Structure 1
Amino acid sequence: MREIIFDTETTGIDPRNGDRMVEIGCIEMINRVPTGQTFHAYFNPERSMPAEAEAVHGLSEAFLADKPRFAERIDELLEFIGDSPLVAHNAGFDFGFLDAEFALCGYPPVCRTRMVDTIALAKVRHPGAKLSLDALCSRYGIDRSHRTKHGALLDAELLAQVYVELRGGRQIGLELVAEAGPALVEVAAVAPRNRPFRAPRPHAASEQELARHAAFVATLDAPLWSA
């Protein structure tokens, strides 16, 4: 099963008030294992960057000034995400900005049936607990020491690890065996086990070993099993 874990950075919290997306980071996972394939882009938002937003992600107007506009990379983004489920933390926020940017480019919104919200998953798994990405990383022992500011690709990488834990942890592959079907054959084809044949080792005791064992037992002084 292919899924895309993603995160966005923006100029603010509400695209209806003119806020724009300035960064997106996407991680491809197949059967909840990262494949190493990613999509990452910065965008010129064609507007000013509020100081409070810059304090969160560190992306200044000067840095973004020479970056492409969202419309210039939308086709690459759409090709990467395909029709896969899209996983995000507080997904309604990220989907809202995707929809707004798509609308400016004349594209339809993303179907909500594709949305997987890790906050909703965490509420079920850990009711009453803190549900921020930092809190969940701490809960699952995920190293985030290199996260000094928010960054879309970095946060997507952390979220991918959190998502695996929310879905059942590192043993998730055991649950996927029944689902994977032909995919398992494909994996085997990619990584064949070309091991030399080894004859099975004898596992029964020989007559000599049995005799030595009997001689040893005979030397024991009042063993429990003879009482």
Structure 2
Amino acid sequence: MKLFLTLLLTLFFTASALAEQARVAVASNFILPMKSLIEAFEANSPYFIKASYGSSGKLFAQISHGAPFDIFFSADQAKPDALISSGLATAEHRFTYAQGKLLLWSNKRYSVKTVSEVLMGGQYNKIALANPKLAPYGAAAKSVLVELSLANATRKKWVMGENISQVYSFVAYGSVDIGFVAQSQLITSNVSGQVWQIPPSLYEPINQDAVLLMKRKTNKAAMAFWTFLHTDEAKKIIQAYGYETF
């Protein structure tokens, strides 16, 4: 009898814990802001948030194959669109949570002052960018090279990161000379070297959308976090990491 009661209580508390938790899939460029958002949310909520990070493409594939996430924070709008089209999410529960910015960074110093000068000068052996097929920031980086007519000329120097976090590591540890990173990765880091601003005209705006996944709409923790994301407090946290909010 005692064993039965113990098992019953274990199942009850396990179910309760799961009911009080939401799982979110988050694009790699948004790791630091998400950690701050979760900390602020959990400080005044009975619910908990568990985050998984990766390239938008890989997370999208996992969700499409049934991964039990409640909210998807993509680094673009195309993948949330695709989830809505496939019936895994609804347009009603979708919004642009941030607009990102692409930068070019080296942990070395160069004499040139503009992104065009450094890229066209060719004084580098390797340049890192996130995989354009998986990561929206990688697609933006490729767009910059295409717009400057440098895609073919520099292709042999490309080092592909699976996501923008890996690109940051490549540059930080000197594995490559320069790399395309998200502004949010540098704004809170004490980075060395040189950073170049990239004219917005060289790539499409990086509007990042979130969607609440259809099967998870009854999760109270997910709904509470979704509501929190629309507050001024959440927007200020996101803005502190260099993103625009709407």
TM-score, shorter chain, exceeding 0.5: no
Q: Which structure has the greater CA radius of gyration?
A: 1
Question: Of the two structures, which has the highest relative contact order with CA contacts closer than 8 Å and spacing of 6 or more?
Answer: 2
Pick the structure with more strand per residue: 2
What TM-score, normalized to structure 1? 0.23
